Amino acid sequence: MTGVCSTRNVGLVRSLGADQVIDCKRDDYTRSGQHFDLILDNVRNHSLLANRKVLNPGGKLVMIGGSSGNWLGPLTRPIAGLRLSPFMGQDFAMLLARLKPDDLAMLGDLMRAGKVTPVIDRRYALSEVPEAIRYSEEGHARGKIIVKVQ
Ligand SMILES: NC(=O)c1ccc[n+]([C@@H]2O[C@H](COP(=O)([O-])OP(=O)(O)OC[C@H]3O[C@@H](n4cnc5c(N)ncnc54)[C@H](OP(=O)(O)O)[C@@H]3O)[C@@H](O)[C@H]2O)c1
């Protein structure tokens, strides 16, 4: 498993279990000469074409991260990918989180069992929500920002 992150997060991503870490400030995974079976794109910094070139035949690209714009903007690339997917011999999919209590409970179980390691950057009290949102909007949180309700 290969992780891609900025320089300051290389150690963190390695500690989470990545076999190889690519520092996106120095190297570009779409130009590394490597090919992948599955790409989980949390950032969408690269075009569909660039990702397609480094996907193995039969590989899958899952688009998770947002791109520019608040409403339809972030959906344009995933929709193009979904339309092209049947013709490419590769699978393009979009992941949109649906917040369901059962899924959160399952995540909690996986964490308790040590199978998922959460990364928590900062914790805020409910009264500090504006500060938490400001920090989130800076776009540099390392993992999750927690608001403690009680
Ligand atoms: N599909 C869905 O349902 C769904 C749901 C939630 C979130 N998302 C998406 O998931 C992504 C992550 O969201 P988030 O809430 O965790 O916060 P975020 O603020 O988007 O992520 C911040 C982190 O991303 C790193 N980062 C920024 N650009 C990067 C790049 N080009 N390559 C590697 N790392 C990069 C930052 O590192 P530096 O600080 O060093 O720049 C920082 O550690 C976002 O794109 C968001 O739109 C999707």
Are residues 90 and 105 located together in one domain of the fold? no
0.75 exceeded by pTM:
yes
- Per residue in 80-99, pLDDT tens? 666 666 667 888 888 888 88
CA of 64 to the centre of ligand 1 (A): 9
- Per residue in 5-49, pLDDT tens? 999 999 999 999 999 999 999 999 999 999 999 999 998 889 888
State the chain's maximal CA–CA distance in angstroms. Answer: 51
Domain extent at residue 113: 101-148
- Ligand 1 near 42 CB (within 6 A): yes
Are residues 48 and 76 located together in one domain of the fold? yes
Are residues 43 and 82 located together in one domain of the fold? yes
Are residues 6 and 75 located together in one domain of the fold? yes
- Per residue in 99-145, pLDDT tens? 899 999 999 999 999 999 999 999 999 999 999 999 999 999 999 99
Query: Cα(85)–Cα(103) distance, rounded to whole angstroms?
Result: 28
Are residues 116 and 89 located together in one domain of the fold? no
